[in-house]
Amino acid sequence: MGGAVISAWEFAKGVVTSSVNYIIDKINSVINAINSVARVGASFGLSVPTLPSIPRLANGGIVKARPGGMLATIGEGGQDEAVIPLDRMKDFGGGGKGITINFS
């Protein structure tokens, strides 16, 4: 029964996170449109401020290695975060292969 409650909770959190991120994406689309108009105004010498985008809610996850790395926004989820190569997890109590990482 406890597993079912946890699964239902995780599902509900996922639905809420996805819904909020969807709304954030739509608001950011409007912000991007406004900023496009501001850039056009700037091309005519007008000093028009631009609006910042709203960051999406943090999900956690695995960052795949790629040439040149990746830019990331971290620490935005309201709590401390660890960013560490997976092969170094053993230094922090993980075991390399077969690691279980729980995101909340």
The one-letter amino acid at 94: G
What global pTM score does this model have? 0.53
Q: Is residue 15 part of a domain?
A: yes
Closest to 59 in 3D by CA, of 13, 99, 23, 7: 13
- Name the domain count of the chain: 1
pLDDT per residue over 36-65, tens digit each? 988 888 888 888 888 998 888 776 667 778
pLDDT score at 96: 47
Domain coverage including residue 40 = 2-92
pLDDT score at 22: 92
CA–CA separation, 67 vs 59, rounded Å?
Answer: 23
Q: Is residue 104 part of a domain?
A: no
Q: Is residue 73 part of a domain?
A: yes
Q: Is residue 97 part of a domain?
A: no
Q: Is residue 98 part of a domain?
A: no
Q: Is residue 100 part of a domain?
A: no
pLDDT per residue over 9-33, tens digit each? 778 878 888 898 899 999 999 999 9
Residue linked to tokens 């956690």? 60
Q: Is residue 20 part of a domain?
A: yes
Q: Is residue 47 part of a domain?
A: yes
Residue linked to tokens 């056009």? 40
pLDDT score at 99: 52
pLDDT score at 77: 67
